[in-house]
Chain A
């Protein structure tokens, strides 16, 4: 069935360093890939997303790259700050159901810790 694998499960970096989180998906029909940030005790919040007709998207210190051939996408955070510490989830759309609409399949999350 549909599956999204996310690595690493934990990531510790020094403030100012870069952080990279990688995800692979199984369904070649997936065409939408959002990334969510969830701080402790809070709701997941969308930080960036990419659609399959684009290979890379950037928003200030955050960028996402997509390789449709290899079925993997990555989140890149540059110049990390302590407030970037949170759990990050990737997700991939998975069409199906009687109306062939998408559901989001989430990765298992990456706990990012940024040390001052």
Chain B
């Protein structure tokens, strides 16, 4: 099976802009979780989707949002970008909730 894929792999934006990141889970996986990875804060949970429903959410401001489509693909959106949003954004998929998660390669976002 193909692994988790994320697009784009790299992105440069300026403050105030918005960005949409995409994640395609492993075929048959229905749960998708998103994480933000920064050198200072490590891996932080953003949200989890299962069957198009957001089932859990981390402690991020409302500028961070997401959704999941009927084919389990997921997108996350960050509006009004701030310099501190520069990070590696990772998604992970699992067959069901509360099972082993498999990570994608990540999207590296740089906000100037």
Chain A contact residues, CB within 8 Å of chain B: 1, 32, 34, 36, 42-46, 49, 89, 91, 93, 96-99, 101-109
The answer for the CA separation of A46 and B3 in the assembled complex, in Å, is: 13
Q: Which of B11-19, B20-28, B39-47, B70-78 contacts A (4 or more CB under 8 A)?
A: B39-47
Residues of A within 8 A of B55 (CB): 97-99, 101
Residues of A within 8 A of B33 (CB): 103-104
Closest residue of chain A to B43, judged by CB? A106
**Contact status A104-B97, CB under 8 Å:** no
Given A46-B102, A49-B100, A103-B48: A96 and B56 interface contact (C-beta under 8 Å): yes
Given A96-B56, A107-B42, A108-B42: A43 and B100 interface contact (C-beta under 8 Å): no
Residues of A within 8 A of B41 (CB): 108
Instruction: From B53, B57, B105, give the contact of A43 (CB < 8 A).
Output: B105
**Contact status B42-A44, CB under 8 Å:** no
**Contact status B101-A104, CB under 8 Å:** yes
The answer for the CA separation of A42 and B104 in the assembled complex, in Å, is: 9
The answer for the CA separation of A42 and B44 in the assembled complex, in Å, is: 17
**Contact status A45-B98, CB under 8 Å:** no
The answer for the CA separation of A13 and B60 in the assembled complex, in Å, is: 37
> Given known contacts A36-B103, A103-B33, what 17 new A-B pairs fall within 8 Å (CB)?
A42-B105, A43-B104, A44-B43, A46-B100, A46-B102, A49-B100, A97-B57, A99-B56, A99-B97, A101-B48, A101-B56, A101-B98, A102-B98, A104-B33, A104-B45, A106-B35, A109-B42
Given A101-B55, A101-B56, A103-B58: A46 and B44 interface contact (C-beta under 8 Å): no
The answer for the CA separation of A44 and B52 in the assembled complex, in Å, is: 25
Closest residue of chain B to A43, judged by CB? B103
Interface residues of B in 88-103 (CB under 8 A from A): 90, 97-98, 100-103
**Contact status B50-A101, CB under 8 Å:** yes
